[in-house]
Structure formats: structure tokens, C-alpha cells
Structure 1
């Protein structure tokens, strides 16, 4: 699954276009490397999102087959670290 799609399905970003914007602005890293929107995500990878509003570090647990509910979205990843910025 593409990184931008995963971030929107997992409800990290409200939409795929917002996820792609953050990725294109070099705010998203996979395994400590700057990511591209089309990069394929695999279980076990560490994704870091460092925006002006928040920082999140997550581990991908599983990939969905399609769209899922908000309740199920948090089961796709394990939250390793989260900070909100002023």
C-alpha cells in the first residue's frame, strides 16, 4: 500500500492529499529516511511524522484491504511516540 494512502486510511491525516502534502514537504520519514508518497509501506516499518503541529512515531502493524472505520484505524499501527507542539 502506498504511504499516502496508508496515512489517510489509518487516520493520521484527514485526507490522502494532506498526507501527500506533508510527504512532499519532507515531514514524513520511513525508517529514518525521507519518504515519497508512492513508497510502499510494509508491516514492521517505523514511520515518523514531524509537522509544525505534532510529532508522531508509529510502527506499521498491518495493512488494510480497503477503507476501514475510525475505530479500526488505530489497529493498523502501534503508537511509539507522540508530541504536540505549540
Structure 2
């Protein structure tokens, strides 16, 4: 599954266009490597996303094309959240 689609379906980022912009700005890495919006993700991958002053690391549990809002958080596990530049 494409990275931008995963971010949208899992609701880590609400819109796919926004997910693409964040990836194009170099604010996402997969398993430590810089990621593009078109990068493939698979279960077990570790994503690190920078949201403003916050760095969030999640592990992908499952991939589905559609997901109910209540179940979207089951697609990933948050490993750590850290604040930047305090």
C-alpha cells in the first residue's frame, strides 16, 4: 500500500493530499529511510512522522483499503511520541 493512502486510511493524517505534502517535505521516514508519498509500506514497518514540534513513531500492524473511524487506530501501534526543540 502507498504511504499516503495508509496515512489517510489510518487517520494519522486526515487527507491524502496533506499526507503527500508532508512526505514531499521530507518529514516522514520508513524504517529510518526518508520516504516519498509513493513509498510502499507493509505490516511491521516503523514510520516516524514529524508534526510541527512533535515526532511520532508508529509500527504498522495491518493494511486495509477502507476502515471505520473507530477501528482506524488498530492499523498501527504508537511506539513513542517526543517533543522537539524545547
Note closer, same or farther for the CA distance 1:71–1:84 as it changes in structure 2 (3 Å cut): farther
**TM-score of the aligned structures, taking structure 2 as reference length:** 0.91
Structure 2 spans left out of the alignment, 5+ residues: none
Q: Given the superposition, is the C-alpha separation of residues 15 and 84 from structure 1 closer, same or farther in structure 2, using an over 3 Å criterion?
A: farther
- C-alpha RMSD of the superposition: 1.4
Which residue in 1 is equivalent to 2:57?
57
- When normalised by structure 1's length, the TM-score is 0.91
Question: Any stretches of 5+ residues in structure 1 without a counterpart?
Answer: none
Q: Deviations over 1:30-80 (max 9, x none)?
A: 00110011111110010000131422100001101x221111101001110
Corresponding position of 1:75: 74
Match of 1:30 in 2: 30
Moved over 2 A (4+): 83-86
CA distance in 2, matches of 1:83, 1:17: 25
C-alpha distance in 1, partners of 2:51/2:33? 16
